[in-house]
Amino acid sequence: MESRARYDRMADLAGTTPSTIAGAPRTAYAQARFSPDGTRIVCVCDRGGSLNVTEMAIDGSNVTTLHEDRWEHGEPSYSPDGQQIVYTRNVDGDYTVWTVPRGGGRPRALTEGPGRATGPSWTPDGNTIVYVHESPVAPPNVWESDVITRQQRQRTNMTLGGIAASDLTLPEHVSWTSADGFQTHGLLYSPAEIQPGNHGCLVEIHGGPMNQSRPVWNGLLQYFVQRGWVVIQPNYRGTLGYGRVYREALFGTWGKGDLDDNIGAIDLCLERNLINDRRVVAWGGSAGGYSTLICLTAAPDRFAGGVALFGLYDHYAFGLETHRYERYYVETILGTSADNYALWHDRSPINHVERITAPLLLLQGASDAVVHPAQSETLINELKRHRVDYEYIAYPGEGHGFRKVVSNVDYSLRMDRFLCQKVLRSPHTSPLGTLPYPATALT
Protein backbone atom coordinates (compact mmCIF):
# COMPACT_ATOMS: atom_id res chain seq x y z
CA MET A 1 0.00 0.00 0.00
CA GLU A 2 1.34 3.42 -0.90
CA SER A 3 1.16 6.39 1.42
CA ARG A 4 -0.47 9.59 0.31
CA ALA A 5 1.79 12.46 -0.67
CA ARG A 6 1.89 15.65 1.37
CA TYR A 7 2.46 18.85 -0.58
CA ASP A 8 3.65 22.39 -0.04
CA ARG A 9 0.98 24.74 -1.35
CA MET A 10 0.92 28.52 -1.47
CA ALA A 11 -1.63 31.29 -2.01
CA ASP A 12 -1.51 35.06 -1.52
CA LEU A 13 -3.70 36.99 0.91
CA ALA A 14 -5.87 38.30 -1.91
CA GLY A 15 -7.41 34.86 -2.16
CA THR A 16 -5.96 33.58 -5.42
CA THR A 17 -6.16 29.88 -6.23
CA PRO A 18 -3.50 27.99 -4.23
CA SER A 19 -0.69 26.50 -6.28
CA THR A 20 1.43 23.45 -5.56
CA ILE A 21 5.09 24.33 -5.32
CA ALA A 22 6.45 20.97 -4.16
CA GLY A 23 5.14 17.43 -4.05
CA ALA A 24 5.70 13.87 -5.20
CA PRO A 25 4.15 10.44 -4.56
CA ARG A 26 5.18 8.92 -1.22
CA THR A 27 6.99 12.13 -0.29
CA ALA A 28 6.10 14.40 2.61
CA TYR A 29 6.66 18.16 2.79
CA ALA A 30 5.72 19.70 6.13
CA GLN A 31 6.20 22.61 8.54
CA ALA A 32 7.01 25.19 5.85
CA ARG A 33 8.18 28.68 6.88
CA PHE A 34 9.10 31.76 4.82
CA SER A 35 12.47 33.46 5.09
CA PRO A 36 12.32 37.04 6.45
CA ASP A 37 12.87 38.49 2.96
CA GLY A 38 10.17 36.27 1.46
CA THR A 39 12.41 34.71 -1.17
CA ARG A 40 12.95 31.26 0.36
CA ILE A 41 11.00 28.55 2.17
CA VAL A 42 12.31 26.08 4.72
CA CYS A 43 10.47 22.87 5.56
CA VAL A 44 11.12 19.22 6.39
CA CYS A 45 10.95 16.67 3.56
CA ASP A 46 11.50 12.92 3.36
CA ARG A 47 12.50 12.69 -0.30
CA GLY A 48 15.71 11.02 0.94
CA GLY A 49 13.83 8.61 3.18
CA SER A 50 13.76 10.65 6.41
CA LEU A 51 12.22 14.02 7.22
CA ASN A 52 15.23 16.32 6.88
CA VAL A 53 15.47 20.11 6.94
CA THR A 54 15.04 21.32 3.35
CA GLU A 55 15.15 24.72 1.63
CA MET A 56 13.72 25.93 -1.69
CA ALA A 57 12.83 29.08 -3.59
CA ILE A 58 9.26 30.29 -3.18
CA ASP A 59 8.31 28.83 -6.55
CA GLY A 60 9.56 25.39 -5.46
CA SER A 61 12.81 25.46 -7.47
CA ASN A 62 16.33 24.85 -6.19
CA VAL A 63 15.29 22.30 -3.56
CA THR A 64 18.23 21.62 -1.24
CA THR A 65 18.49 19.20 1.67
CA LEU A 66 20.50 21.15 4.23
CA HIS A 67 21.22 18.25 6.60
CA GLU A 68 21.11 14.78 5.05
CA ASP A 69 20.47 12.47 7.96
CA ARG A 70 19.03 9.05 8.83
CA TRP A 71 17.34 10.74 11.80
CA GLU A 72 14.38 13.07 11.38
CA HIS A 73 14.06 16.83 11.87
CA GLY A 74 11.28 19.23 12.74
CA GLU A 75 10.18 22.79 13.57
CA PRO A 76 12.56 24.67 11.24
CA SER A 77 12.60 28.48 11.16
CA TYR A 78 14.87 31.28 9.91
CA SER A 79 16.86 33.62 12.11
CA PRO A 80 15.74 37.27 12.05
CA ASP A 81 18.44 38.11 9.49
CA GLY A 82 17.56 35.03 7.42
CA GLN A 83 21.11 33.65 7.49
CA GLN A 84 20.61 30.69 9.83
CA ILE A 85 17.92 28.03 10.30
CA VAL A 86 17.11 26.39 13.62
CA TYR A 87 15.44 22.97 13.87
CA THR A 88 15.13 19.94 16.12
CA ARG A 89 16.78 16.56 15.49
CA ASN A 90 15.07 13.41 16.77
CA VAL A 91 17.57 10.64 17.58
CA ASP A 92 15.62 7.59 18.79
CA GLY A 93 13.24 9.87 20.71
CA ASP A 94 15.86 12.25 22.15
CA TYR A 95 15.36 15.73 20.62
CA THR A 96 18.19 18.25 20.36
CA VAL A 97 18.36 21.74 18.86
CA TRP A 98 20.51 22.36 15.76
CA THR A 99 21.30 25.19 13.35
CA VAL A 100 22.45 25.17 9.74
CA PRO A 101 23.35 28.10 7.44
CA ARG A 102 20.85 29.26 4.86
CA GLY A 103 21.71 27.72 1.50
CA GLY A 104 23.76 24.94 3.09
CA GLY A 105 26.80 24.46 5.28
CA ARG A 106 27.88 22.58 8.37
CA PRO A 107 24.98 21.60 10.70
CA ARG A 108 25.75 22.42 14.30
CA ALA A 109 24.23 21.06 17.53
CA LEU A 110 23.32 23.64 20.19
CA THR A 111 22.07 21.16 22.79
CA GLU A 112 22.78 17.58 23.77
CA GLY A 113 21.78 14.97 26.32
CA PRO A 114 18.66 12.88 26.94
CA GLY A 115 15.12 14.23 26.77
CA ARG A 116 13.09 16.31 24.38
CA ALA A 117 13.81 19.88 23.25
CA THR A 118 10.89 21.46 21.38
CA GLY A 119 9.61 24.79 20.11
CA PRO A 120 12.93 26.47 19.26
CA SER A 121 12.47 30.19 18.67
CA TRP A 122 14.88 33.02 17.89
CA THR A 123 15.24 36.08 20.05
CA PRO A 124 14.84 39.35 18.07
CA ASP A 125 18.60 39.94 17.97
CA GLY A 126 19.22 36.45 16.56
CA ASN A 127 21.83 35.65 19.21
CA THR A 128 19.83 33.20 21.30
CA ILE A 129 17.49 30.23 20.80
CA VAL A 130 14.70 29.78 23.34
CA TYR A 131 13.20 26.29 23.65
CA VAL A 132 11.38 23.97 26.05
CA HIS A 133 13.19 20.93 27.41
CA GLU A 134 11.94 17.95 29.42
CA SER A 135 13.27 14.52 30.28
CA PRO A 136 12.23 11.54 32.43
CA VAL A 137 14.01 13.17 35.38
CA ALA A 138 12.96 16.79 34.79
CA PRO A 139 9.56 18.29 33.88
CA PRO A 140 9.22 20.80 31.01
CA ASN A 141 11.06 24.08 31.52
CA VAL A 142 12.09 27.01 29.32
CA TRP A 143 15.75 27.04 28.37
CA GLU A 144 17.91 29.19 26.12
CA SER A 145 21.12 28.56 24.23
CA ASP A 146 23.62 31.09 22.96
CA VAL A 147 24.01 30.54 19.21
CA ILE A 148 27.76 31.23 19.22
CA THR A 149 29.00 29.81 22.53
CA ARG A 150 26.32 27.10 22.95
CA GLN A 151 26.06 28.14 26.59
CA GLN A 152 22.71 27.00 27.96
CA ARG A 153 20.65 28.57 30.71
CA GLN A 154 17.48 27.34 32.38
CA ARG A 155 14.93 30.17 32.60
CA THR A 156 12.02 28.55 34.48
CA ASN A 157 11.91 26.10 37.37
CA MET A 158 8.87 23.88 37.52
CA THR A 159 8.74 22.44 41.03
CA LEU A 160 8.57 18.70 41.61
CA GLY A 161 6.76 18.82 44.92
CA GLY A 162 9.63 17.29 46.87
CA ILE A 163 10.49 14.61 44.31
CA ALA A 164 14.24 14.11 43.96
CA ALA A 165 15.49 13.73 40.40
CA SER A 166 18.07 11.27 41.72
CA ASP A 167 15.23 8.86 42.54
CA LEU A 168 13.94 8.90 38.95
CA THR A 169 14.97 6.65 36.09
CA LEU A 170 16.34 7.38 32.64
CA PRO A 171 15.49 4.77 29.99
CA GLU A 172 17.86 2.59 28.06
CA HIS A 173 17.54 2.78 24.28
CA VAL A 174 17.04 -0.80 23.13
CA SER A 175 16.29 -2.66 19.92
CA TRP A 176 15.24 -6.18 19.01
CA THR A 177 14.35 -8.31 16.02
CA SER A 178 10.66 -9.18 15.83
CA ALA A 179 9.37 -12.59 14.73
CA ASP A 180 9.17 -11.57 11.07
CA GLY A 181 12.66 -10.04 11.06
CA PHE A 182 11.65 -6.40 11.58
CA GLN A 183 14.21 -4.39 13.57
CA THR A 184 12.29 -2.57 16.31
CA HIS A 185 13.37 0.21 18.66
CA GLY A 186 12.12 1.06 22.12
CA LEU A 187 12.79 2.50 25.56
CA LEU A 188 13.38 0.32 28.63
CA TYR A 189 12.89 1.56 32.20
CA SER A 190 14.19 -0.74 34.94
CA PRO A 191 13.90 -0.44 38.74
CA ALA A 192 16.98 0.68 40.64
CA GLU A 193 17.27 -2.67 42.41
CA ILE A 194 16.86 -5.62 40.05
CA GLN A 195 15.33 -8.87 41.28
CA PRO A 196 16.22 -11.21 38.40
CA GLY A 197 13.23 -12.86 36.77
CA ASN A 198 10.76 -11.48 39.30
CA HIS A 199 9.54 -8.06 38.12
CA GLY A 200 6.19 -7.44 36.55
CA CYS A 201 6.33 -5.91 33.06
CA LEU A 202 4.25 -3.05 31.71
CA VAL A 203 4.33 -2.89 27.92
CA GLU A 204 3.31 0.75 27.40
CA ILE A 205 2.11 1.12 23.81
CA HIS A 206 1.97 4.62 22.33
CA GLY A 207 -1.03 5.96 20.44
CA GLY A 208 -1.31 7.41 17.00
CA PRO A 209 -0.54 4.75 15.90
CA MET A 210 1.96 6.94 14.00
CA ASN A 211 3.42 8.64 17.03
CA GLN A 212 6.49 7.87 19.14
CA SER A 213 7.42 7.03 22.72
CA ARG A 214 10.02 9.56 23.77
CA PRO A 215 12.15 10.04 26.92
CA VAL A 216 9.90 12.71 28.47
CA TRP A 217 8.45 13.59 31.84
CA ASN A 218 5.93 10.91 32.90
CA GLY A 219 5.21 10.83 36.60
CA LEU A 220 2.93 7.79 36.48
CA LEU A 221 5.52 5.73 34.62
CA GLN A 222 8.17 6.69 37.16
CA TYR A 223 5.80 5.72 39.98
CA PHE A 224 5.35 2.21 38.61
CA VAL A 225 9.10 1.78 38.08
CA GLN A 226 9.65 2.73 41.71
CA ARG A 227 6.97 0.20 42.65
CA GLY A 228 9.12 -2.50 41.06
CA TRP A 229 7.68 -2.72 37.55
CA VAL A 230 9.81 -2.93 34.42
CA VAL A 231 8.31 -0.63 31.81
CA ILE A 232 9.14 -1.05 28.14
CA GLN A 233 7.85 1.31 25.45
CA PRO A 234 8.01 -0.29 21.99
CA ASN A 235 8.38 2.12 19.11
CA TYR A 236 6.69 -0.44 16.89
CA ARG A 237 6.62 -0.27 13.09
CA GLY A 238 4.64 2.77 12.01
CA THR A 239 6.33 4.95 14.64
CA LEU A 240 7.49 8.42 13.63
CA GLY A 241 11.14 9.39 13.82
CA TYR A 242 12.77 6.46 12.03
CA GLY A 243 12.10 7.34 8.40
CA ARG A 244 9.55 6.53 5.73
CA VAL A 245 10.29 2.79 5.42
CA TYR A 246 9.85 2.27 9.18
CA ARG A 247 6.67 4.34 9.18
CA GLU A 248 5.09 2.67 6.15
CA ALA A 249 5.83 -0.82 7.51
CA LEU A 250 2.54 -0.53 9.42
CA PHE A 251 0.48 -0.13 6.25
CA GLY A 252 -1.59 -3.25 5.77
CA THR A 253 -0.12 -4.83 8.92
CA TRP A 254 -1.79 -2.82 11.73
CA GLY A 255 -2.94 -5.27 14.37
CA LYS A 256 -0.35 -7.88 13.34
CA GLY A 257 3.04 -6.27 12.68
CA ASP A 258 2.81 -4.03 15.73
CA LEU A 259 1.75 -7.05 17.81
CA ASP A 260 4.91 -8.88 16.73
CA ASP A 261 6.97 -5.85 17.77
CA ASN A 262 5.22 -5.64 21.17
CA ILE A 263 5.76 -9.37 21.77
CA GLY A 264 9.41 -8.86 20.85
CA ALA A 265 9.67 -6.26 23.61
CA ILE A 266 8.54 -8.86 26.15
CA ASP A 267 11.03 -11.38 24.80
CA LEU A 268 13.83 -8.82 25.19
CA CYS A 269 12.95 -8.38 28.87
CA LEU A 270 12.84 -12.15 29.33
CA GLU A 271 16.21 -12.61 27.63
CA ARG A 272 17.67 -10.14 30.13
CA ASN A 273 16.06 -12.08 32.98
CA LEU A 274 14.27 -8.95 34.19
CA ILE A 275 10.65 -10.09 34.37
CA ASN A 276 8.26 -12.84 35.34
CA ASP A 277 6.46 -13.93 32.17
CA ARG A 278 3.25 -14.48 34.16
CA ARG A 279 3.13 -10.78 35.14
CA VAL A 280 3.07 -8.99 31.78
CA VAL A 281 0.48 -6.26 31.20
CA ALA A 282 -0.36 -4.35 28.00
CA TRP A 283 -1.06 -0.66 28.63
CA GLY A 284 -1.95 2.13 26.22
CA GLY A 285 -4.31 4.88 25.14
CA SER A 286 -6.13 5.59 21.86
CA ALA A 287 -4.34 3.47 19.23
CA GLY A 288 -2.37 2.12 22.20
CA GLY A 289 -5.69 1.07 23.73
CA TYR A 290 -6.48 -0.67 20.46
CA SER A 291 -3.11 -2.45 20.58
CA THR A 292 -3.81 -3.48 24.18
CA LEU A 293 -6.95 -5.32 23.03
CA ILE A 294 -5.03 -6.81 20.10
CA CYS A 295 -2.50 -8.16 22.60
CA LEU A 296 -5.20 -9.72 24.77
CA THR A 297 -7.15 -11.22 21.86
CA ALA A 298 -4.32 -12.29 19.54
CA ALA A 299 -1.73 -13.37 22.12
CA PRO A 300 -3.72 -14.21 25.27
CA ASP A 301 -1.04 -16.59 26.55
CA ARG A 302 1.49 -13.73 26.81
CA PHE A 303 -0.49 -11.27 28.94
CA ALA A 304 -1.77 -11.35 32.51
CA GLY A 305 -3.79 -8.14 32.17
CA GLY A 306 -4.57 -5.09 30.08
CA VAL A 307 -5.13 -1.38 30.78
CA ALA A 308 -6.82 0.32 27.81
CA LEU A 309 -7.61 4.03 27.70
CA PHE A 310 -10.08 5.48 25.16
CA GLY A 311 -9.21 2.86 22.58
CA LEU A 312 -10.86 1.99 19.27
CA TYR A 313 -12.03 -1.60 19.15
CA ASP A 314 -14.23 -1.74 16.04
CA HIS A 315 -12.73 -0.24 12.88
CA TYR A 316 -16.07 0.03 11.08
CA ALA A 317 -17.92 1.79 13.89
CA PHE A 318 -14.97 4.08 14.58
CA GLY A 319 -15.19 5.68 11.12
CA LEU A 320 -18.89 6.36 11.62
CA GLU A 321 -18.59 7.75 15.14
CA THR A 322 -15.42 9.84 15.12
CA HIS A 323 -15.03 13.44 14.06
CA ARG A 324 -14.13 14.52 10.53
CA TYR A 325 -10.38 14.70 11.05
CA GLU A 326 -10.06 11.01 12.01
CA ARG A 327 -12.79 9.55 9.80
CA TYR A 328 -10.56 8.07 7.10
CA TYR A 329 -7.53 7.28 9.23
CA VAL A 330 -8.08 3.53 9.28
CA GLU A 331 -8.42 3.53 5.48
CA THR A 332 -5.01 5.19 5.20
CA ILE A 333 -3.41 2.30 7.08
CA LEU A 334 -5.51 -0.75 6.16
CA GLY A 335 -7.02 0.32 2.84
CA THR A 336 -10.70 0.92 2.13
CA SER A 337 -13.22 -1.18 4.00
CA ALA A 338 -14.96 -2.18 0.76
CA ASP A 339 -11.79 -3.68 -0.66
CA ASN A 340 -10.42 -5.07 2.60
CA TYR A 341 -13.47 -6.36 4.48
CA ALA A 342 -11.81 -9.51 5.83
CA LEU A 343 -8.76 -7.55 7.01
CA TRP A 344 -10.86 -4.91 8.80
CA HIS A 345 -12.90 -7.65 10.47
CA ASP A 346 -9.85 -9.63 11.55
CA ARG A 347 -8.04 -6.56 12.94
CA SER A 348 -11.03 -5.34 14.99
CA PRO A 349 -10.61 -6.85 18.48
CA ILE A 350 -14.36 -6.50 19.13
CA ASN A 351 -14.73 -9.61 16.95
CA HIS A 352 -12.39 -11.76 19.06
CA VAL A 353 -13.38 -11.04 22.66
CA GLU A 354 -13.95 -14.74 23.34
CA ARG A 355 -10.16 -15.21 23.22
CA ILE A 356 -9.50 -12.92 26.19
CA THR A 357 -8.41 -14.73 29.34
CA ALA A 358 -6.86 -11.86 31.31
CA PRO A 359 -8.60 -9.14 33.36
CA LEU A 360 -9.07 -5.78 31.68
CA LEU A 361 -9.25 -2.21 33.01
CA LEU A 362 -11.06 0.17 30.65
CA LEU A 363 -10.87 3.96 31.09
CA GLN A 364 -12.77 6.40 28.91
CA GLY A 365 -13.58 10.09 28.62
CA ALA A 366 -17.35 10.49 28.71
CA SER A 367 -17.16 13.41 26.24
CA ASP A 368 -14.54 11.94 23.87
CA ALA A 369 -15.19 13.15 20.31
CA VAL A 370 -12.25 11.23 18.80
CA VAL A 371 -13.02 7.76 20.13
CA HIS A 372 -16.68 7.82 21.11
CA PRO A 373 -17.61 6.11 24.41
CA ALA A 374 -19.72 3.77 22.30
CA GLN A 375 -16.47 1.96 21.38
CA SER A 376 -15.96 1.00 25.04
CA GLU A 377 -19.67 0.41 25.68
CA THR A 378 -20.00 -2.00 22.77
CA LEU A 379 -16.86 -3.78 23.92
CA ILE A 380 -18.33 -4.11 27.41
CA ASN A 381 -21.39 -5.88 26.03
CA GLU A 382 -19.09 -8.46 24.47
CA LEU A 383 -17.00 -8.74 27.64
CA LYS A 384 -20.15 -9.47 29.63
CA ARG A 385 -21.35 -11.98 27.07
CA HIS A 386 -18.09 -13.90 27.24
CA ARG A 387 -17.73 -13.50 31.01
CA VAL A 388 -14.44 -11.60 30.85
CA ASP A 389 -13.24 -9.99 34.07
CA TYR A 390 -13.28 -6.23 33.48
CA GLU A 391 -13.59 -2.87 35.20
CA TYR A 392 -14.80 0.30 33.45
CA ILE A 393 -15.18 3.96 34.22
CA ALA A 394 -16.11 6.89 31.99
CA TYR A 395 -14.76 10.14 33.49
CA PRO A 396 -17.31 13.00 33.38
CA GLY A 397 -16.31 15.96 31.22
CA GLU A 398 -13.17 14.30 29.85
CA GLY A 399 -12.32 13.98 26.17
CA HIS A 400 -9.55 12.13 24.35
CA GLY A 401 -7.06 12.24 27.19
CA PHE A 402 -7.64 13.17 30.82
CA ARG A 403 -6.98 16.74 31.93
CA LYS A 404 -8.69 17.07 35.31
CA VAL A 405 -6.62 16.43 38.41
CA VAL A 406 -9.37 14.27 39.92
CA SER A 407 -9.53 12.09 36.80
CA ASN A 408 -5.76 11.57 36.65
CA VAL A 409 -5.56 10.78 40.36
CA ASP A 410 -8.36 8.25 40.01
CA TYR A 411 -6.72 6.75 36.90
CA SER A 412 -3.41 6.34 38.72
CA LEU A 413 -4.95 4.82 41.82
CA ARG A 414 -7.31 2.58 39.90
CA MET A 415 -4.54 1.20 37.71
CA ASP A 416 -2.28 0.65 40.71
CA ARG A 417 -5.05 -1.22 42.52
CA PHE A 418 -5.87 -3.25 39.40
CA LEU A 419 -2.24 -4.32 38.96
CA CYS A 420 -1.89 -5.32 42.60
CA GLN A 421 -5.14 -7.26 42.88
CA LYS A 422 -5.58 -8.73 39.41
CA VAL A 423 -1.99 -9.29 38.22
CA LEU A 424 0.30 -9.52 41.23
CA ARG A 425 -2.48 -11.15 43.30
CA SER A 426 -1.42 -9.19 46.34
CA PRO A 427 -3.30 -6.79 48.65
CA HIS A 428 -3.61 -3.26 47.38
CA THR A 429 -1.02 -1.29 49.30
CA SER A 430 -0.88 1.91 47.28
CA PRO A 431 0.51 4.86 49.24
CA LEU A 432 -1.46 7.31 47.10
CA GLY A 433 -4.78 7.18 48.95
CA THR A 434 -8.39 6.26 48.14
CA LEU A 435 -10.19 6.46 44.80
CA PRO A 436 -11.79 9.87 44.11
CA TYR A 437 -14.63 8.20 42.18
CA PRO A 438 -16.63 5.69 44.25
CA ALA A 439 -17.52 2.23 43.01
CA THR A 440 -21.02 3.49 42.16
CA ALA A 441 -19.45 5.56 39.38
CA LEU A 442 -18.48 2.38 37.55
CA THR A 443 -20.61 1.05 34.74
Q: Averaged over 379-400, what is the pLDDT?
A: 95
Residues 6+ apart with CB under 8 A from 153: 143, 144, 145
Kindly indicate the confidence band of residue 9, based on its pLDDT and cuts at 50, 70 and 90.
low
Q: List, in sequence order, every beta strand (DSSP E) within 359-419.
A: 360-365, 390-395
Strand partners, 293: none
Residue 202, pLDDT score: 98
Cα distances (Å, whole numbers) of residue 102 to 46, 119, 301, 442 = 19, 19, 55, 58
267-274 contacts at long range (C-beta below 8 A, 24 or more positions apart): 267/176, 268/174, 268/176, 268/186, 268/188, 268/232, 269/188, 269/201, 269/230, 269/232, 273/196, 273/197, 274/190, 274/194, 274/196, 274/197, 274/199, 274/201, 274/230
pLDDT in tens, 30-55: 999 999 999 999 999 999 999 999 99
Q: What's the pLDDT tens digit per position in 265-300?
A: 999 999 999 999 999 999 999 999 999 999 999 999
Supply the pLDDT for residue 350.
96
- 148-180, pLDDT tens digit by residue? 999 999 999 987 777 777 789 999 999 999 999
Give 140's pLDDT tier (boundaries 50, 70, 90). very high
Could you tell me the end-to-end alpha-carbon distance of the chain, in angstroms, rounded to an integer? 40
Assign 192 a pLDDT band (cuts: 50, 70, 90): very high
8-154 classified as CATH 2.120.10.30 = yes
Closest CA to 259 of 182, 351, 337: 182
Helix axis angle, 219-226 to 405-418, nearest 10°: 30
Could you give the CA distance from residue 83 to residue 55 in angstroms, rounded to a whole number? 12
Cis preceding-peptide flag for 209 (omega within 30 of 0): yes
State the average pLDDT for the chain.
Answer: 92
Q: What is the pLDDT of residues 211-229, one digit of tens each?
A: 999 999 999 999 999 999 9
d(CA 71, CA 243): 7
Is the pLDDT assigned to residue 1 strictly greater than 60? no
pLDDT digits (tens, 9 = 90+) for 310-326: 999 988 888 778 777 77
Architecture of domain 169-441 in this structure: 3-Layer(aba) Sandwich (3.40)
- Examine the pLDDT at 146 and tell me if it is beyond 60: yes
Distance, in Å, from the CA atom of 281 to the CA atom of 294, rounded to the nearest integer, reads 12
Domain with CATH 2.120.10.30 in the chain: 8-154
Outline which parts of the chain fall under CATH 3.40.50.1820: 169-441
Reference 419, options 318, 273, 280; nearest CA is 280
CA-atom Rg of the chain in angstroms: 23
